[in-house]
Amino acid sequence: MGSKATVTALALAGLVTTGCASTNGQQSNPQDPWEGYNRAVFSFNDTLDRYALKPVAEGYDYVTPEPVQDGVGNFFNNLGEVGNFLNSLMQWKLSAAGVAGSRFLINTTLGLGGLLDPAGRMGLERQPEDFGQTLATWGVGQGPYLVWPFLGPSTVRDSAGFPVNWYTDPVTYIDDDTTRWSFRALDIVDTRAGLLDQESLMQGDRYSFVRDAYLQHRQFLINDGKATKDPFASGDVDFNDDDFAQ
C-alpha cells in the first residue's frame, strides 16, 4: 500500500492485534487508568478483525498488484492534505500549511487525481496534522489512554478531535451514500492490508505494545519530530520483559 500516516495505522492496529496478558491487578502505564475497559474493547476489536477485516484484507492484498495498492494509498493521503492544511493553519504553522496545500494541488493535477505522488519526488514531504495535534498545541491535556470499538487506540484529547477530523475529510461530503461508504471501506481495507507484514513484530503482551507505540508516536507528531526527554529514563513508558517474549 502507499505510505499511510503512521497514526492511522496505529489507530487501526487496535483491530489487528491479539490477546492480552494478565496485569496481575497492576496498571502497567500511568497514562492508562482505564486499562481493564480498554483491554476488553481491544479483545472485541481483535475478534472482529480475525473473523471479518483480516480475511478481506488478505484477499485484497492477494489480488491487488502492489502498484495499485500504492495508488490507493497515495489517493487517500492526498485527500488527507485538506485536513493537514487546515490544522496547520489553526496551529499557525504557515510553512507546513504551504506544503500541504502545494502537495494537494500538485498531486491532484500532475498526479492523476492523487494516485501518484509527484510532490514527494519534488521534496515536498507529507506532514500529518489532525485536530488532536491542534488541541495539543493549544494547551489541551492528553487525558487518559482510550480504546474505541472499531476505531482502536486513542486518548481523550484525540477523541475530542474526531468530529473535526470527520468534517475536514473530503470523503464526508460525497453525496451518494454508497459511494461515500465504499471509499471509507476501501481506505480501511487498504490500510489493514498494509499491516499484514507488521503483525509478526508484535510479541508478548500486544495490548501494551500497541498502547505504548501509539502514545509515543502521538507525542512525536505533536513535537513535529523534535527530540524530547527520554521516556524510558522518566518512567513514562513501562515495557516488561513479557512484552517481548517469544
State mean pLDDT over 6-14: 43
Each residue's pLDDT tens digit, 191-246: 999 999 888 777 778 899 899 999 999 999 999 877 555 444 344 444 444 443 43
**Angle subtended by helix axes 6-16 and 206-222, to nearest 10:** 160
Residue at grid coordinates 492511522: 8
Each residue's pLDDT tens digit, 218-232: 999 999 877 555 444
Q: DSSP label at 79? A: H
Each residue's pLDDT tens digit, 101-145: 999 999 999 999 999 999 999 999 999 999 999 999 999 999 999
> Max alpha carbon distance in the chain (Å)?
56
Q: DSSP for 121-148?
A: HTT-------HHHHHHHTT-----EEEE
Give the closest residue to 225 by CA, choosing from 7, 10, 78, 8.
Answer: 7
What residue segments make up the domains of the chain, in order of their start?
6-21+30-96+128-244
Q: What's the pLDDT at 224?
A: 84
Q: What's the pLDDT at 34?
A: 96
Query: Above 70 in pLDDT, residue 37?
Result: yes
Give the closest residue to 46 by CA, choosing from 150, 132, 165, 171.
Answer: 150
Q: Could you give the percent of the chain with pLDDT greater than 70?
A: 80
Cut 0.85: pTM above it: no
